[in-house]
């Protein structure tokens, strides 16, 4: 059964024109920057994240994803001003109502960033490296808008040693390039305030052809655009607790849209717990905590609800965050939550 499922996964990867080509994330709410370049430099410190996801535990050749990301703002007015409404020594609890009352839109500023993502599934592995840029502006006293782009390259590799074929010279695979290097381009927009965010991002805007065959009849694969639409709203449950429902719709034509619904509950700037549902795929449990004003950690576990639940032991994902040059001693993200 596992061999059959692995073959199905591999075929889905080869038919690149008709499948999801970017990794799946459960904790995207913890690092939306990995999906939307408009978040580059949204906070007034250097945000570093490292993540690892092991999907469908127990299934041979199941997807594994790891990444590292870093982004930071540019501009002295934003870096050293009071645009975050946080005093020099820290202070206001980001989850309290008083933070909303003192929230001010960001000073116009630039943001830059970088992320590298490694994704493996069966015999195919992929590495994406992108540099990002965003411009943030205040539309009103407490409403912000940012526009961003990302550009880089994708390296796609087929390990033929992991494939056993009935016909060793199958033209669908052939002896084409094992390694392929393709350009990559993404763009996004992000609207945010003290209690809400909404964003749209499009990845893989360049529909680069991809094929591992020498036969033009099989040369039909290509990178297809992925669109991510997300929104969230903060609800205060007293001065110490805040609930943050959010949702994301992922559109990859022509497959059905993927819908994620999340609920995160945070206590002050200490820790948070949450749950997520991905339509026709999984339920997830999440938790995380902040270590002072330097580091935070998040973990999630997916309970598979699709047909793979007979062979899968679920999916694990962990994300580590580090705040560098955090001069205001912020212990919980404010603009990006």
Residue 108 belongs to domain with CATH number: 2.40.160.40
Q: Give pTM, 2 decimals.
A: 0.84
Residue 168's pLDDT band (boundaries 50, 70, 90)? low
Average pLDDT of the segment spanning 191-214? 85
186 lies in some domain: yes
| Domain membership flag for residue 331 | no
Residue 145 tokens read as 């808008």
In a domain, 7, yes or no: no
Q: Express as a percent the part of the chain with pLDDT over 70.
A: 77
pLDDT confidence bin for 159, thresholds 50/70/90: confident
Q: Where are the beta strands (DSSP E) in the chain?
A: 46-54, 64-74, 109-121, 124-140, 143-158, 179-192, 196-203, 226-233, 235-236, 241-251, 258-267, 271-278, 282-291, 295-304, 315-324
**pLDDT reported for residue 85:** 42
CA dist., res. 300 & res. 303, Å (int): 10
Give a yes or no: residue 1 inside a domain.
Answer: no
For residue 15, being part of any structural domain is answered with no
Q: How far is CA 218 from the centre of its chain?
A: 32
| Torsion, Cα of 18, 24, 28, 31 (10° steps) | -100
Is 5 a domain residue? no
The CA distance from 135 to 148, in Å, is 6
d(CA 65, CA 67): 7
Which of 34-43, 46-55, 119-128 is the least confident region?
119-128
Q: How far is CA 63 from CA 1, 55, 59, in A?
A: 17, 5, 9
> What is residue 106's predicted lDDT score, i.e. its pLDDT?
74
Report DSSP state, residue 9: H
The residue to which tokens 């409403």 are assigned? 143
Pairing of β 64-74 and β 271-278: unpaired
Contact 262, 234 (CB under 8 A): no
**CA separation for the pair 41, 75 (Å, rounded):** 10
Q: Which residue has the tokens 């990178």?
A: 223
* CA distances in angstroms from 169 to 158, 160, 331, listed in the order given: 16, 12, 58
- Interatomic CA distance for residues 151 and 156, integer angstroms: 16
The lowest-confidence range among 93-107, 114-128, 200-214 is 93-107
Our count of domains for the chain comes to: 1
Question: CB of 108 within 8 A of CB of 138?
Answer: yes
Q: What is the DSSP letter of 222?
A: B
Domain membership flag for residue 9? no
For residues 285-289, give the mean pLDDT.
94
pLDDT of residue 132: 98
With a cut of 80, say whether residue 330 has pLDDT above it: no
What is the average per-residue pLDDT within 169-182?
69
Q: Give domain status of residue 240, yes or no.
A: yes
- The percent of residues in the chain predicted with pLDDT above 90, rounded, is 42
Q: Residue 12 above 60 pLDDT?
A: no
CA distance 322 to 232: 23
| DSSP state, residue 29 | G
Domain hosting residue 85, numbered range: 22-324
Phi, psi of 38 (to 5 degrees): -65, -10
The conformation of residue 148, written as its DSSP 8-state character, comes to E
């Amino acid at each position: 059964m596992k061999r059959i499922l692995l073959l199905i996964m591999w075929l889905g990867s080869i038919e690149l024109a008709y499948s999801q080509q970017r990794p799946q994330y459960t904790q995207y709410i913890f690092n939306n920057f990995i999906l939307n370049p408009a978040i580059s430099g949204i906070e007034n410190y250097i945000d570093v994240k490292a993540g690892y996801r092991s999907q469908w535990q127990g299934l041979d050749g199941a997807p594994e994803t790891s990444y590292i990301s870093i982004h930071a703002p540019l501009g002295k007015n934003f870096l050293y001003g009071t645009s975050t409404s946080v005093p020099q020594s820290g202070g206001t609890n980001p989850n309290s109502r008083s933070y909303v009352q003192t929230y001010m839109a960001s000073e116009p500023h630039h943001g830059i960033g970088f992320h590298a993502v490694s994704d493996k599934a069966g015999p195919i592995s992929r590495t994406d490296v992108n540099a990002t840029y965003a411009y943030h502006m205040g539309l009103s006293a407490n409403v912000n808008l940012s526009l961003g782009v990302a550009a880089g390259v994708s390296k796609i590799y087929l390990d033929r040693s992991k494939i056993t074929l009935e016909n060793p010279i199958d033209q669908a695979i052939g002896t084409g390039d094992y390694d392929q290097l393709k350009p990559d381009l993404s763009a996004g927009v992000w609207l945010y305030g003290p209690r809400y965010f909404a964003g749209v991002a499009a990845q893989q805007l360049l529909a680069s052809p991809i094929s591992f065959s020498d036969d033009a009849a099989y040369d039909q694969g290509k990178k297809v655009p992925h669109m991510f639409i997300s929104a969230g709203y903060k609800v205060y449950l007293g001065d110490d607790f805040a609930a943050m429902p959010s949702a994301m719709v992922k559109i990859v034509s022509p497959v059905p849209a993927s819908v994620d619904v999340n609920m995160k509950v945070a206590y002050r700037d200490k820790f948070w717990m949450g749950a997520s549902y991905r339509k026709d795929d999984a339920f997830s449990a999440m938790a995380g905590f902040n270590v002072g004003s330097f580091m935070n950690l998040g973990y999630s576990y997916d309970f598979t609800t699709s047909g793979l639940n007979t062979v899968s032991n679920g999916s694990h994902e962990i994300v580590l965050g580090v705040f560098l040059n955090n001069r205001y001693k912020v212990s919980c993200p404010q603009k990006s939550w």
